[in-house]
Amino acid sequence: MRILSVSDQVEPMIYEPGGDKCFPGIDLILSCGDLPAEYLTYLVTVFNVPLFYIRGNHDGIYDVKPPQGCVDLHGRIIVYKGVRIMGLEGSHWYNGGQHQYTEKQMARVILKTKFKIWWHKGIDIVVSHAPPRHVHDGKDICHKGFKCFRGLIKRYSPHYFLHGHMHSSFKNQKERETKVNKTDVINTFGYHVFDYIK
């Protein structure tokens, strides 16, 4: 399965007529947050494949203007073509805005998914906005990663943990990726394309 993951920055190469032709064979789109609703609506329309998203800390507009034809993944597990995908929205709490969580609050969100994970016999991909603690994260409170994400990785060993939130320039695609135990943690800033082989 070929997956296009996006976050944080609208990519001109994609967001123009014929942009989808640069990415042949896409089967699924995953959004890691902080993108305009109309951009996600455009992507799901031109690629004509499912798009699952979580909200970033700047996606409050989704409450009144959600992306059309897309599915909010937060706190859920959706199985698509046999791949179990889980979503966790938002960032670390820093000023009390929307979609911000303390460590304890995010840990409770994960705890509420425990039965769902058991029911689906695990998870294959986690889609989040914030990174795990000490993996691609920043030192300031806004960009601090969640410790409970490390616990989720340790306990369930998803194949991929996708996140956004961290604006970075990459000389090559490998710089996006960090292996944590058996899980590939990937910063999807802008866009990233990868093949999921189960």
CA distance 181 to 147: 15
Query: And the tokens for 34?
Result: 């902080």
Neighbour tally for 45: CB within 10 Å: 12
Domain total in the chain = 1
Per-residue pLDDT reduced to its tens digit, 12-65 = 888 888 778 888 999 999 999 999 999 999 999 999 999 999 999 988 889 899
Q: Residue 84 and residue 80: Cα distance in Å, rounded?
A: 7
Question: Among residues 71, 61, 66, 68, which one has the least CA distance to residue 31?
Answer: 71
What is the span of the domain harbouring residue 156?
Answer: 2-195
CATH number, domain at 15? 3.60.21.10
pLDDT in tens, 101-128: 999 999 999 999 999 999 999 999 999 9
**Cα–Cα dist 122/86, whole Å:** 10
Block residue for tokens 């999807």 = 188
Residue 91 pLDDT: 94
pTM above 0.75, yes or no: yes
